[in-house]
Structure 1
Amino acid sequence: MKNPASSASSYKMSDLEREKLKLVVDYSFAQSLPEIWPIAAQKFANAIALHDPHSKPEIVLTYAQLYQQIQQFATGLQANGLLSLTQSDDSSDPPRVALISDNSYRWMIADQGIMMAGAADVVRSSAAETEELLYIIEHSGSTVLVVEDVKTLKKLGDRLLKLPIQLIVLLTDEQLETFGEIKVLNFSQVMAAGTSQELKSANQNHNTLATLLYTSGTTGKPKGVRLTHGNLLHQLTTLGAVIQPHVGDIALSILPTWHTFGRTAEYYVLSQGCHQIYTTIRYIKQDFKDFKPQYMIGVPRLLESVYEGVQKKFREQPANKQKLVNNLLEFSQRHIQGKGIWQGLVLKPHPPALGEKLLGGLQAIIYWPLHFLGEKLVYKTVREATGGRMKYFISGGGSLAMHLENFYQIVGLEILVGYGLTETSPVTHARRYWHNIRGSAGQPIPGTEAKIVDPETRQPLPVGKTGIVLLRGPQVMQGYYKNPEATKKAIDPEGWFDSGDLGWLTENNDLVLTGRQKDTIVLTNGENIEPQPIEDACLRSVYIDQIMLVGQDQRSLGALIVPNMEALKQWALSQNLQLVLPNETFSADHEQIKLDSKIVQELFRKELTREVQNRPGFRPDDRIGPLRLLEEPFSIENGMLTQTLKVRRPVVMERYRDMIDGMF
């Protein structure tokens, strides 16, 4: 869909950003994503591209080898008739290939091999529910299925035989000749076929469909987001205005590669010659030490996990050392607050006045010696735990709580937050390291426009006023696959995409998000409450691991809380109490308490009251009334977290419907 000009102001690229773009490899000439690989192979030839230290055997691919294998996989698909297979519909799109798999180096080879062969891929996790996978394969009109392994194939079952799949490819080397009457090839067989003929060039351009990504579908059927080669290339050609990796810089890859954020991040770091290492939560601490990365791209929950690991070590120290650390963190907090005001990097609609800046500078100077002491005694050690060479943590996929923002700034680990959606490929905004306003989602990336409109009238709102965030730019999707009604609802005739997010803009075009329109909780007094900022504040408590606010059409807010069991057990021991949990033995020497006991409830009540009232912008309606403590964490496995570790509110609401009703 075209994006005609309008009266809305567009973010103008600064001279500094133009200079930064000159420092990265330019792919603006490319018409399709696969065109970057021969250039990367030529420029970075023997530099390491993909590295999986945890596979058996260990996998290391140079850029020359990566391009060769992508090309070979593409040719293997063509040799097995990819381009001649009968399409299941009359679409003018290229053939669709369903790619059902999770992170591996072979995922990247398959993904780019499919595109290089002239097809578009339809990607999803192999861990997704069977019904969802079958729906996606059928709805997309896929004629080829590339699947992680035999186990995943068998998970799809005989119902797959009723779909128009004509060829199945395994990303393993398992042997399986047919599935029903469908021909099955393993990875090695496709690669071997790729040596038998020359690759036929694909006729692709910026408007050609590159991939279909299906939304999670928490309400109704998932929608297929149509992203073109032009959408994806826009990311590669503009993110250099934000970060400028060097050849050989190490980036840890932990996000799902099929998810648009993790996927685009990998495309970008690989386009710049980085050394990408596949890691998991299980190995990440060791990989920090072994590989000393310069970049880590993740979601807020991952940064919360790293933070909690550091806090755990703090709690293990003697009481006098804990007090010293806490005091140093408090003094450093005042230092960085003053420094931010002096630099004009404050979360306000308008920059601070000169007098306010001078006072901020004075505050920064006064507390600098104590901050310096904290650097010598504590903060350097924290950085060394991440390898000691970290340039930037890149965070996206959700809001980052302010206590995390402050902590990482204090210890000297720079976080650059980005914003966007699957429908925007995904990045529309990002914080620059020279303009890093904590609490914001940053300024638009080049070529991107944003405006805030009133939810009711749809009229533009002035600086500082909260409304719905509308977005426009070359990265906005073509629309939803086979769903013109949803497309019309999401993108207006002028090309503005309705993000469904609520936020406001500063005078310098920094976007500040306040929540999701559909997540808003409306109390009986008519007050609208955005749960995310309050939840983020509550997560400052060491006793709260996860939290979700409830209270729609009630007199007050309520909270479902997953406790941090380790911290809670330590508290119980300090009170000469024994916390009784399922399947756990206990000593009769201590008074026995349970999660629903009065003393535990009082602890969490005090924690919630303190953190909510200390939150900037606190209002009486923000107070949390009834609460319930949950023994089962929100997780991907039980369906209460998305693959990017965001709480699926509708799923949690349905799961605990009776409990929530009982709270009120």
Structure 2
Amino acid sequence: MSQLKLQTSFLDNISEKEIQFLKSLVDYSHLNAIPEIWPIAAQHFGDTVALYNPHSKPEEQYSYQQLAALIQQFASGLQALGINPRDRISLIADNSPRWFIADQGIMTAGAVDAVRSSQAEREELVFIIGNSGSVALVVEDIKTFNKLRERLHDLPIKLIVLLTDETPPSDSAIQVINFSQLLEIGQNHKFTPVTHKRENLATLIYTSGTTGRPKGVMLTFNNLMHQVITFGLVLQPKVGDAVLSILPTWHSYERTSEYYLLSQGCSQVYTNLRSVKNDLKKYKPHFMVAVPRLWESIYEGVQKQFREQPANKQKLIYFFLGISEKYIQAKHIANNTSLDHLHASSLTRLSSGVVALLLSPLHALGGKLVYNKVREATGGRLKQVISGGGALPRHIDNFFEIIGVQILQGYGLTETSPVTNVRRPWRNMIGASGQPLPVTDVKIVDPETRQPLPLGKRGLVLLRGPQVMQGYYQNPEATKKAIDGEGWFDSGDLGWLTPEQDLVLTGRAKDTIVLLNGENIEPQPIEDACLRSPYIDQIMLVGQDQRSLGALIVPNLEALEKWIVSQQGNVPPATDDKIDLESKIIQDLFRQELNREVQNRPGYRIDDRIGPFKLIQEPFSIENGLMTQTLKIRRNVVMERYRDIIDGMFAK
């Protein structure tokens, strides 16, 4: 690592402290491309488990040596079947060790993969296959192939690979082989090494297309290698550390995190939304990459357990939580990592340090009596977790720090590979999304004039660095719109910078709600505040061109039922055995909850007040199309789905 600065410009000008931080890691900074990592990883980590899927039938488990061999066999099989460097191959599949082998096998063969979930709509998949100019198709299974089959005849597809071992259909006009057959072909064919260059296109990741045709984000090896080389400033895993994988593996956030963690010898265990809570306890991960919704779910589960305790025990739990919250706040002020006290005087920081010292014994006692048991719900071994793909509500951030689980919030987009900013273990400022990664610039500009704004002033976030995409595939007009002549990428996000360059996000420019009085409201911070209520499971603000904000709310029915019982002696107001969400007692409760949480929010303004609201039974989910696969609410889709209800709310 002493040659680190000479080997790559990605880490030029980083501090000596950061150099020391990287010394324990296996160094790949001299490599040009992701596929070059795996033969080296096989030498370093050998029989260590690389990938393990306990939910597949049969279970799949591969060591680093096996993984490197299978990747090369997959690549050799593709070469034997006529795949050439720079060919496009659509990879339409979901999380599994075989997805990873296919992804890296395609790159190792010199081809470029265009990736998407097998659960995506057929028309979207057909567009991706055609737009990318794919000559081959790697699919999840026969079911996925059959979904696409009748639409492939007009496309230049010459080969289809199933990631299962199902018997390929014999009546297909296009050659179809399964996973094992491809590996057998590769084993019997001499692999031809491919020379990779950093500027070569590595993958196409298509945007969701919620506002039109999907756009193919062109990521190069340079983009991806920047992530792998610089992530060491954030996470320092040890060989054999367990990683629990839940996000879509084709998504840039999960994907680049996997590349990095596997490059350092971690053992990746695949889980899913149904199994994650049990798998946390069973596999006791050291690291995890996830989105805010997962941490919210764990938090809600813990709060439910608290509410089920006897009254005297609840009192003790909330006493310790109150003390610990004061301790955490005092510690952050003392360390100058409190977002609400950026300009605190030396005397204030000193006195906060004294307060933290005095509260420390009680916080430690809370750990022994309460927090250690809570931490068991996460397996008890989490060193650090990365949260991204959306804003993390401040109360969730605080809670996990209290119980001793360090969440490092990050920020980025598919177009930036994705990470541009992330909190460091030594500067974990709650409420912020961290400082930029090396060789990454962040600029805040006026959304209208595009003129730079001073520190602390909110505006449009522009990004520049080695992780910014090459452009949108075959879409120069969209590329020009997104990246200006100086290389600045328009994120579409609103935010501001602290004096130490921590990025604080306040919402999406296109999500801004403009009220009739001209006030611009960013919904995300207000929604995050409302989620502190135990009775609110999900919420989305509405109110464009209205006199006030409104809200669609998915209530936490379990907490609500318990409250009703406590209020009415086991006789909940009901219609057809369901809670009557329109009853006055329920409506009054939610009005009180909304008023309290919004008004207690830092920076509260009168226009933040939520006027009409509607309680809806059906949660926003991936299955009903109201959430993305990274569990973000599709605001435009929700608006369309509930258009009549929203119009009715404001018509009253």
TM-score class, shorter-chain normalisation, is over 0.9
Identity, % of aligned positions? 64
Please show how residues 399-410 of structure 1 align to structure 2 within 5 Å. Answer: 399-410=391-402
Please show how residues 327-476 of structure 1 align to structure 2 within 5 Å. Answer: 327-348=319-340, 350-476=342-468
Counterparts of 2:644 and 2:358, CA distance in 1:
54
**2:100 corresponds to:** 108
**1:3 corresponds to:** none
Q: CA deviation at 1:149?
A: 0.4
**1:238 corresponds to:** 230
Counterparts of 2:458 and 2:641, CA distance in 1:
32
Counterparts of 2:136 and 2:182, CA distance in 1:
13
Over residues 512-563 of structure 1, what are the superposed CA-to-partner deviations in whole Å (9 max), with x where a residue is unaligned? 1110000000011111100000000100111111000000011100000001
Over residues 133-162 of structure 1, what are the superposed CA-to-partner deviations in whole Å (9 max), with x where a residue is unaligned? 111111111110100001111122411222
**1:226 corresponds to:** 218
Q: CA deviation at 1:269?
A: 0.4
Q: CA deviation at 1:578?
A: 4.1
Q: CA deviation at 1:178?
A: 4.6
**1:55 corresponds to:** 56
Q: Structure 1 residues 12, 437: closer, same or farther in 2, change over 3 A? A: farther
Aligned partner of residue 288 in structure 1, secondary structure: helix
Q: Give the residue type in structure 2 aligned to 1:127.
A: Q
Q: Give the residue type in structure 2 aligned to 1:75.
A: S
Q: CA deviation at 1:213?
A: 0.4
1:635 and 2:621 correspond: yes
Counterparts of 1:292 and 1:195, CA distance in 2:
36
Q: Give the residue type in structure 1 aligned to 2:460.
A: I
User: Retained in 1: the 8 A contact 2:163–2:178?
Assistant: yes
**1:496 corresponds to:** 488
Q: CA deviation at 1:54?
A: 2.1
Q: Give the residue type in structure 2 aligned to 1:56.
A: K
**1:15 corresponds to:** 16
* Gapped regions of structure 1 (runs ≥ 5): 1-9, 84-92, 587-592
1:656 and 2:642 correspond: yes
User: Retained in 2: the 8 A contact 1:253–1:296?
Assistant: yes
Over residues 470-505 of structure 1, what are the superposed CA-to-partner deviations in whole Å (9 max), with x where a residue is unaligned? 111111000000110110010011111111111111
Counterparts of 1:45 and 1:391, CA distance in 2:
24
Counterparts of 2:647 and 2:434, CA distance in 1:
39
Does 1 or 2 have the higher relative contact order (CA < 8 Å, sep 6+)? 1
1:647 and 2:633 correspond: yes
Q: Give the residue type in structure 2 aligned to 1:262.
A: E
Aligned partner of residue 339 in structure 2, secondary structure: coil
* Partner residue of 1:150 out of 116, 123, 142: 142
Q: CA deviation at 1:659?
A: 0.7
* Partner residue of 1:571 out of 560, 563, 575: 563
User: Retained in 1: the 8 A contact 2:205–2:414?
Assistant: yes
Counterparts of 1:180 and 1:656, CA distance in 2:
43
Q: CA deviation at 1:569?
A: 1.1
1:554 and 2:555 correspond: no
1:605 and 2:591 correspond: yes
User: Retained in 1: the 8 A contact 2:336–2:342?
Assistant: no
Segment drifting more, 126-135 vs 99-108: 126-135
Over residues 438-480 of structure 1, what are the superposed CA-to-partner deviations in whole Å (9 max), with x where a residue is unaligned? 0000001111111111111111111100111111111100000
Q: CA deviation at 1:306?
A: 0.9
Aligned partner of residue 82 in structure 1, secondary structure: coil
Aligned partner of residue 251 in structure 1, secondary structure: strand
**1:620 corresponds to:** 606
Q: Give the residue type in structure 1 aligned to 2:19.
A: R
Aligned partner of residue 162 in structure 1, secondary structure: coil
Q: Structure 1 residues 495, 209: closer, same or farther in 2, change over 3 A? A: same
Q: CA deviation at 1:396?
A: 0.7
Counterparts of 2:340 and 2:604, CA distance in 1:
16
User: Retained in 2: the 8 A contact 1:250–1:293?
Assistant: yes
**1:27 corresponds to:** 28
User: Retained in 2: the 8 A contact 1:97–1:146?
Assistant: yes
Counterparts of 1:343 and 1:578, CA distance in 2:
51
Counterparts of 1:182 and 1:528, CA distance in 2:
55
Q: Structure 1 residues 621, 27: closer, same or farther in 2, change over 3 A? A: same
Q: CA deviation at 1:370?
A: 2.9
Counterparts of 1:173 and 1:439, CA distance in 2:
47
Counterparts of 2:360 and 2:442, CA distance in 1:
38
1:78 and 2:79 correspond: yes
Q: Structure 1 residues 133, 349: closer, same or farther in 2, change over 3 A? A: farther
User: Retained in 1: the 8 A contact 2:573–2:583?
Assistant: no
Q: Structure 1 residues 466, 579: closer, same or farther in 2, change over 3 A? A: same
User: Retained in 1: the 8 A contact 2:456–2:496?
Assistant: yes
Q: Give the residue type in structure 1 aligned to 2:262.
A: L
Counterparts of 2:43 and 2:135, CA distance in 1:
34
Counterparts of 2:243 and 2:138, CA distance in 1:
27
Segment drifting more, 14-23 vs 549-558: 14-23
Q: Give the residue type in structure 1 aligned to 2:150.
A: D
**1:538 corresponds to:** 530
RMSD over aligned Cα atoms: 1.6
Counterparts of 1:573 and 1:464, CA distance in 2:
47
Aligned partner of residue 268 in structure 2, secondary structure: strand
Q: CA deviation at 1:366?
A: 3.8
* Gapped regions of structure 2 (runs ≥ 5): 1-10
Over residues 3-29 of structure 1, what are the superposed CA-to-partner deviations in whole Å (9 max), with x where a residue is unaligned? xxxxxxx99522211211222111111
How many residues are paired up?
A: 639
1:165 and 2:157 correspond: yes
Counterparts of 2:603 and 2:171, CA distance in 1:
60
Aligned partner of residue 503 in structure 1, secondary structure: strand
Q: CA deviation at 1:614?
A: 0.8
1:483 and 2:475 correspond: yes
Q: Give the residue type in structure 2 aligned to 1:450.
A: V
Aligned partner of residue 438 in structure 1, secondary structure: coil
User: Retained in 2: the 8 A contact 1:146–1:170?
Assistant: yes
**2:264 corresponds to:** 272
**2:7 corresponds to:** none
Q: Give the residue type in structure 1 aligned to 2:54.
A: P
Q: Give the residue type in structure 2 aligned to 1:68.
A: A
Counterparts of 1:438 and 1:573, CA distance in 2:
36
The normalised TM-score by structure 2 is 0.96
* Partner residue of 1:520 out of 492, 502, 512: 512
Segment drifting more, 103-112 vs 453-462: 453-462
Q: Give the residue type in structure 2 aligned to 1:613.
A: Q
Aligned partner of residue 524 in structure 1, secondary structure: coil
User: Retained in 2: the 8 A contact 1:11–1:509?
Assistant: no
Over residues 93-123 of structure 1, what are the superposed CA-to-partner deviations in whole Å (9 max), with x where a residue is unaligned? 8111000001000000000000001100000
